[in-house]
Amino acid sequence: MQKIKIMHLLQSDRFSGAENVVCQIINMMDNNDIIEMTYCSSDGQIREALNERNIRFLPIRKLTVKEVKRIIKEYKPDLIHAHDMRASFIGALACGNIPIISHIHNNNFDSRGISLKSIAYLYAGLKAKHIFWVSDSSYEGYYFHNLFKRKSEVLYNIISIDNLYSKMTLDNNNYDYDIVYLGRLTEPKNPLRLMKICKGIVDQLPSVKIAVIGTGDMEGDTHKEAERLELGSNVTFLGFQSNPYKILHDSKLMIMTSLWEGTPMCVLEAMSLGVPVVSTPTDGVKIVVDNGKTGYLSNDDKEIVNYCKAIINNNELHKLMAKESISRAKKLMDKVYYSNRILKAYDGCIQRD
């Protein structure tokens, strides 16, 4: 039997949250005899992450209608699974009669009213056969969401805990960072606030060690802010790490200061590794973190500083939160349910066409 060819379409040439989700989906389907999956995006840093995961890559020069049409003609997919709003819009313009599924991985604050982005995605949503949203708030926050009620489904992210631990064991180093930030250095992640909070932590714990893992368009500004706050001896910028999991595992806690989130993969990873999370209370984080048990949530900088200090200084508290984090992560990771929802959507799209 000839396999059904699914092409995952993304915008970014980097490896981060949405890209991680797609890799998880593809790896989940490794043993499926009916489906063949391929990853398509601009070429760049993502190639290394895909090679490590043995995922087939269809590179494009840039996410444009012309380029996507070219790759469609070359690969001849039976279905396009487009991720986030821009890739969904471009995919909808390029797909012709090929069915397309849209998958939204974050809360797009710039599409909560009438805007160029919300109107552009309106076309993509109308073209899509099915739409996955990473959270209730990502669905309800989109201005025209009521038009897509029948074809929409909220599907929270999950990870493979076994794969996570397997990858971690490839790193034989030991790390002594107290705090880890793992994520892009971009506006939604609020990295300048992160530096301000790091300064507050350093003022109370002068010997604290903080690792910042990730890159992004605010990387230069974040470095400058760290220099301005004289954080050089406490904060280490590690850039992109293809395997950051041993660094994360060896830390006391993971910190986040995001303005908004979908269901952040790094939080799922941290909790699965027994690392408590201290974060701003964004919608996606509130779904995962059990405040006071697996970490702490606050929108107050002083509280965040004090929570970090408490976890670092109190070994019993850290051990208890680590245990609770692992337990909660296991309950959240229903791999069978997740993969079945995706396969059902694929089946419905292809049957209708």
Ranges in the chain, pLDDT < 70: 1, 351-353
Among 2.60.40.10, 3.20.20.140, 3.40.50.2000, 3.40.640.10, name the CATH number for the domain at 4-158+334-352.
3.40.50.2000
Helix axes 265-272, 17-28, angle to 10 degrees: 70
For domain 161-332, the question of CATH label 3.40.50.2000 is answered with yes
Asked whether this chain's domains 4-158+334-352 and 161-332 adopt the same fold, the reply is: yes
Q: What is the 3-state secondary structure (H, E, C) of 23-40?
A: HHHHHHCCCCCCEEEEEE
Predicted TM-score (pTM) of this structure: 0.84
Quote the pLDDT of residue 351.
Answer: 65
Tokens 């209730």 label which residue? 136
Quote the pLDDT of residue 352.
Answer: 52
Tokens of 223: 């470095």
Instruction: Yes or no: say if 346 and 339 are a contact pair by the CB < 8 Å rule.
Output: no
Quote the pLDDT of residue 167.
Answer: 92
Quote the pLDDT of residue 184.
Answer: 92
Quote the pLDDT of residue 50.
Answer: 95
How many helices (DSSP H) and strands (DSSP E) are in the chain?
15, 13
Please tell me the distance from the alpha carbon of residue 278 to that of residue 237, in angstroms, as a whole number. Answer: 19
Quote the pLDDT of residue 137.
Answer: 86
Quote the pLDDT of residue 242.
Answer: 87
Please tell me the distance from the alpha carbon of residue 139 to that of residue 129, in angstroms, as a whole number. Answer: 16
Tokens of 149: 């009620």
Query: Domain residues of the chain, as ranges?
Result: 4-158+334-352, 161-332
Quote the pLDDT of residue 350.
Answer: 83
Please tell me the distance from the alpha carbon of residue 183 to that of residue 280, in angstroms, as a whole number. Answer: 14
pLDDT tens-digit series, residues 94-147 = 999 999 999 999 877 788 899 999 999 999 999 999 999 998 889 999 999 999
Instruction: Yes or no: say if 213 and 180 are a contact pair by the CB < 8 Å rule.
Output: yes
